[in-house]
Amino acid sequence: MKSFRLNIVSSLFFLSTFLVFVICIAAAITMNNAAKIVERAIQNHLVASASAAASFLTVEELDLFHTAEDMKKSEWESIRRRLAAFAEQYEALYVYYWRDYGDGRIQYIIDNDPDPQTQATPEVFFDINNPNDPITSTAAPYILAGNVYTSDLGSYTESWDGLISAIVPVFNPDGSVYCAAGVDISDAIITAQRRNIIVFRVLLVVSLLLSLLAGGVGIRFYRKKAIQSESANIAKSQFLSTMSHEIRTPMNAVIGISELALREQDISPRVIQYITKIKQAGTSLLAIINDILDLSKIEAGKMEINPGRYDLASLVNDVVTIIGVWIHEKPLDLRVIVADSLPGTLQGDEIRIRQVLLNLLTNAVKYTQEGYIEFTVSGEVKDDTVILKFGITDTGIGIKKEDLDKLFRFFVRLDLDQNRDIEGTGLGLAITYTLCRLMGGSVSVSSVYGSGSTFTITLPQKILDAAPMKYAGPGNEDYSPAQTGTTVKFTAPDARVLIVDDISINLMVAEGLLSPYKMKIDCCTGGQEAIRLAEERPYDLVFMDHIMPGMDGIETTAKIRSSEKIRKDLPVIALTANAVAGMKEMFLSQGFSDYLSKPIDVSDVDRVIRKWLPREKQIR
């Protein structure tokens, strides 16, 4: 009996020791991840500060100083005082500028250092080919080629003179690099973090040794702590992985219910105005969330273009209808001019094209108080390709000539004194520029300050059907909230649809958005019930939530696919608030037919229904 008990105690002891070891490893990984988050925050601050410095002084101001004699100019001290204020605002130790001197040397121009012995002046040079200096050997050629340099915090050591840096190019109006702007901040945060990690690892080892020494006496204690710590780590992981989901779920309710409310007939104009404001605020917040997600994809190199078959007339109509919602509150005309000879069926990334067009059109509405917005669609056919040309012209505030070269940079907002009341992140145009390039196209702008701007997009698209498009959408019309209700162009009274979501408000929103199609709609709140209903009824479409208690959407879809009572080609559409990079690909690989993100966009719903619902059930 004693031997049996000893074996149990020993087994529990080794098990508890193993659990402590696992927890130590998990804690170390968590600490490293936290360190990476801090590093990313520091680097983002550096890039933002250096980007601000790049536009803080004009090329004309920087070009004043080339020799020591130029330091006697009256502008010298004035600019240095401005740089000192800039450094204080951005919590930087140094802000400085240098240029390529042309003979293998880099010349400093000016900085904010008050000490004459150490300050950067046109008398100070360094050798661009010096391999012992990481700035000269790594950063200088990179910056002079038009790129951004930041200290590699992942391999940071205290040997870098207590500073971490970001350096960005300063561009001439013609797009060439004039010089570089740099910002240095203290390495106190990163070095303290490194020391904390070392201390933390030592503590983990000590904890493991203590767990070994404690033996059978501490088995229950260690096991309890292990369970608590494991639960904490799981909760933290779930929080990080579902953060986007949790933000977008209430946004789905705000925007979706606003959309449903605007479809009601017996509401007063004032209530319509209030609801429209709520929907616009929700849409603005969603746009910010989407911009941040897109930026993270671009930074990670995961922004992908997914070409597919689409109808050009439908795309144009969707864009015009959506922008009509934004334009109706202002005394603006929307002029739509669409060439009638364009091929109707093309291959390209319809979602990204729509995003690019709406980015520019919503900007035009935001910055135009009166007059008109003109949206033109034309193109030139070359063999099996059409070069689409989209034009967006407004009569708004326009853009200063000196700001045109900054327009498509990240985190840049122009003319802040005039535009302080206009919402924005400084990301939309930069993302638009990146998307156009990824699709093999381009975006350009011309503007007269005070009179308006014209943005022009060119995109090559493969022609799948050369039959001319038939655009019958709105042109130069007035829009009212009542027109925001739907993009539905057909009904399907014989079709049957199942919506699966564990949150009742999401079911209400989804069912309301699908109601104009007059389909037979069933709703349920769990995977088991969804499988039962799918085995009993001949559904044409299933909209499946992802994260649900018990059986989640992926497991439910797998069981639907394996059921002998359900047809194998039943379209199952992922309907989820999880919109981070790679989600669409993950869902498609798990047996889903397509993907919709929350908040639900009515035009996306229409696209999915048109694509997957049997044609014979679509009544136009």
Instruction: Check residue 364 and give left, alpha or beta (phi > 0: left; psi -120 to 50: alpha).
Output: alpha
User: Which among 409, 22, 367, 439 has a CA at the least distance from the CA of 226?
Assistant: 22
C-alpha Rg value of the chain to the nearest Å:
30
User: Which among 313, 260, 263, 269 has a CA at the least distance from the CA of 474?
Assistant: 313
Contacts of residue 272, Cβ cutoff 8 Å, sequence gap at least 6: 262, 481
pLDDT band at residue 352 using 50, 70 and 90 as cut-offs: confident
pLDDT at 427 exceeding the cut of 60: yes
pTM of the model: 0.40
Query: In this predicted structure, which of 146-150, 295-299, 550-554 has the lowest mean pLDDT?
Result: 295-299
User: Mean pLDDT over residues 593-602, rounded?
Assistant: 79
pLDDT for res 251: 64
pLDDT at 315 exceeding the cut of 90: no
pLDDT at 204 exceeding the cut of 70: no
Look at 362 and 470; give whichever has higher pLDDT: 362
pLDDT band at residue 477 using 50, 70 and 90 as cut-offs: very low
User: Mean pLDDT over residues 247-258, rounded?
Assistant: 65
Q: What is the DSSP letter of 477?
A: B
pLDDT for res 289: 60
Scan for tokens 């840096």, then name that residue: 165
Q: What is the separation of C-alpha 246 from the centre of its chain, rounded to a whole number of angstroms?
A: 16
Contacts of residue 610, Cβ cutoff 8 Å, sequence gap at least 6: 490, 618
pLDDT band at residue 560 using 50, 70 and 90 as cut-offs: very high
How far apart CA 394 and CA 326 sit, in angstroms, is 14
What does the pLDDT look like over 110-139, one tens digit per residue?
Answer: 999 888 887 888 988 887 777 666 566 667
Superfamily of domain 306-484: Histidine kinase-like ATPase, C-terminal domain (3.30.565.10)
Length of the chain: 620
pLDDT for res 406: 73
Contacts of residue 379, Cβ cutoff 8 Å, sequence gap at least 6: 339, 342, 386, 387, 388, 389
How far apart CA 41 and CA 203 sit, in angstroms, is 26
DSSP for 110-122?
Answer: EE----TTT---T
Q: What is the DSSP letter of 70?
A: G
Angle, helices 312-327/602-612, rounded to nearest 10 degrees: 160
CATH class of the 13-240 domain in this structure = alpha beta
Report the CATH architecture of 496-617: 3-Layer(aba) Sandwich (3.40)
User: Mean pLDDT over residues 415-431, rounded?
Assistant: 55
Look at 473 and 271; give whichever has higher pLDDT: 271
How far apart CA 295 and CA 287 sit, in angstroms, is 12
**Token pair of 297 as six digits:** 């994809």
Q: What is the separation of C-alpha 71 from the centre of its chain, rounded to a whole number of angstroms?
A: 44
Query: In this predicted structure, which of 99-108, 326-335, 337-346 has the lowest mean pLDDT?
Result: 326-335
Which ranges of 537-615 would DSSP assign to H, the alpha helix?
A: 553-562, 583-589, 602-612
Contacts of residue 392, Cβ cutoff 8 Å, sequence gap at least 6: 357, 360, 361, 364, 373, 374, 375, 454, 455, 456, 457
How far apart CA 255 and CA 273 sit, in angstroms, is 14
Ramachandran angles phi, psi of 101, nearest 5°: -80, -20
pLDDT at 418 exceeding the cut of 70: no
pLDDT for res 222: 47
The strand pair at 385-394 and 520-524 is best described as unpaired
Ramachandran angles phi, psi of 375, nearest 5°: -120, 115
Query: Which helix (H) or strand (E) element contains residue 123?
Result: none
pLDDT for res 449: 87
Look at 509 and 609; give whichever has higher pLDDT: 609
What does the pLDDT look like over 392-415, one tens digit per residue?
Answer: 999 988 888 877 777 776 545 455
